[in-house]
Structure 1
Amino acid sequence: MDKVLPLPRLSPHVADKLWWLPRGILLGLLAFAIFGPLTNLLLWTVAEKWYFPHTLPLEYGFGSWQRVFSPRGNAVDSLTNSVVIAALTVCVALALAIPAGYALARLRLPLRGLILLAFLIPQAFPNLPVYVNVARAFYELGLNGTVPGVVLVHVTHGLVYAVWIATAAFSAVDAELEQAARSMGAGPFRAFFDITLPLAMPGLMASAIFVFLESLDEFTASYFVGAPDVNLLPLLLYTAGAGGNYQVASITALLLLIPSIGFMLVVERFLKADVLARVGH
């Protein structure tokens, strides 16, 4: 009988090198999926002439930036409205979330889990049919096409982040610290404002950032409730993209992307492991 020759074995050194090959391919595909669209976005912001089949723009320049930020470009007005509405949304959402989050964290409320799930209702249903009916109701109330109407609908959409993270932030604060302040003669409000609120402030700041970004990027509610009287950046992005003006659309998308990346880096510093562990509990 013929002898079966054993298969050659790779040396440990060669095997270690080949082990990094699938990792390198996977990381390369992941980097392409993330940075490929971003690179294309940046190229469109400075492309003056770019058409198929050319891989790169034929001409570069900042003419599109001048058109976007010209008085007729509506970018400055849309950016101002977006920031103001997002800031107002944060103020209203935190004004509701701080007492709600403290009550959910400290009090033994019946059906506490159902109360937390109730804040997910705006996220659970498709946005389009919901906001069509909201726009109809707001039109009858005189809120359609107004800043208060847009702020109100943004608050209902972002309140889940505010309440859930606020509840987790207050739950992460040791209740014995507040009780110690009460035993030293401090009243309930002073113990809350001097002890509990400062310790929960990092989580509350993180919830404020989430609500701000949610309001800044919200399109469906802004379109049905605010358009055409309230100009916002997502509406400008949609109009430019639907009209085939990819330069203006890319510049507008970049204006929305920069604060999102910056605030996400801040959130990473604010949200600690003890707070994240209590989200939803």
Structure 2
Amino acid sequence: MSAAAETSAGMRQSSFDLWWVPRAIALGLLAFVIFGPLTNLVLWTVAEKWYFPHALPLEYGLDYWGRVFSSRGNAMESLGNSVFVASMTVIVSLALAVPSGYALARLKLPVRGLILLAFLIPQAFPNLPVYVNIARLFYQIGLNGTIAGVVLVHVTHGLVYAVWIATAAFSAVDTELEQAARSVGAGAMRAFRDITLPLAAPGLLASAIFVFLESLDEFTGSYFVGAPDVNMLPLLLYTAGAGGNYQVASITALLLLIPSIGFMLVVERFLKSDVLSKVGH
């Protein structure tokens, strides 16, 4: 090989290697944006003493974990209420979403698009004025400050995910499978129970997880309808953060973050592109 060819090949190789510099910088910045706040959060959960201008905590320990989970910390009560409310929200939302989603997926309704759009109405307006008026209404009928009232508020938001994903899940199931089951003598309910429902189960599971996470993280509705009688983790997080107790706030945020990450991995496993493609169709 001539010297000119070797020089040209060396320049191309050098140019190719230099492409990794901006890529590495971009990936590094992205990792910092994503993991920087999470690292700061984890550090606050074990920081006993940390103040400006120190970049790292001066003392580490788990004393604040003991305070959070003590009988006076309200964390266990708040965690129990949050999980119970989220579970009840999932049950009520799916009880409404499964028949609604099946009907919207199978029936040729002339206003099908408007019905799906109607479930987005709670998301179309600012939460604050909506929840203020709901709290006033619930106070008049005795639901303010009750678990049932908080569940009903959470269901209004959970139905958006539940109905849309359930509709997509049932739309992804081939109608010919139901027809084949009916042709060999299965009734409508048995064909739904034995054929359609198991095939739509992954999408319904993803729907349940979305509703659970939405309920678990809901603050505004829990505050206006539940506080101060119903303690919830988002309310505990807000109280600790507003009071400058960053250790308690970070521990509470971590309790909310862990199930969110775990459940999102499950959603990614079960909610496939063929289901997503049916959303809105």
- Tell me, yes or no, whether TM beats 0.5: yes
- Distance in 2, Cα, partners of 1:227 & 1:160: 24
Q: TM-score, normalised by structure 1?
A: 0.96
Q: Which residue of 1 aligns with 2:210?
A: 210
Kindly report which structure 2 residues correspond to 1:52-201, keeping only aligned pairs within 5 A, or say none.
52-201=52-201
- Distance in 1, Cα, partners of 2:125 & 2:12: 54
The structural deviation recorded for 1:280 is 1.8
Q: Which residue of 2 aligns with 1:220?
A: 220
SS where residue 48 of structure 1 aligns? strand
Report Cα offsets for 1:241-276 as digits up to 9, x if no partner: 000000000000000000000000000111011001
The structural deviation recorded for 1:62 is 0.1
Q: TM-score, normalised by structure 2?
A: 0.96
SS where residue 215 of structure 2 aligns? helix
Report Cα offsets for 1:144-200 as digits up to 9, x if no partner: 000000000100011010000000000000000001100111110000001000000
The structural deviation recorded for 1:23 is 1.1
> Which amino acid in the other structure matches residue 167 of structure 1?
T
Identity, % of aligned positions: 81
Q: Which residue of 2 aligns with 1:27?
A: 27
Q: Which residue of 1 aligns with 2:13?
A: 13
> Which amino acid in the other structure matches residue 161 of structure 1?
Y
The structural deviation recorded for 1:213 is 0.1
- Distance in 1, Cα, partners of 2:23 & 2:218: 36
> Where does the alignment leave 5 or more consecutive residues of structure 2 unmatched?
1-6
Kindly report which structure 2 residues correspond to 1:234-253, keeping only aligned pairs within 5 A, or say none.
234-253=234-253
- Distance in 2, Cα, partners of 1:248 & 1:269: 33
- Distance in 2, Cα, partners of 1:240 & 1:30: 29
- Distance in 1, Cα, partners of 2:184 & 2:269: 33
Q: Which residue of 1 aligns with 2:4?
A: none
Q: Which residue of 2 aligns with 1:232?
A: 232
SS where residue 11 of structure 1 aligns? helix
- Distance in 2, Cα, partners of 1:24 & 1:279: 36
Q: Which residue of 1 aligns with 2:259?
A: 259
Root-mean-square deviation (CA, aligned residues, Å) is: 1.0
SS where residue 48 of structure 2 aligns? strand
SS where residue 54 of structure 1 aligns? coil
Count how many residue pairs are aligned between Structure 1 and Structure 2. 274
The structural deviation recorded for 1:21 is 1.2
- Distance in 1, Cα, partners of 2:65 & 2:166: 39
- Distance in 2, Cα, partners of 1:280 & 1:11: 52
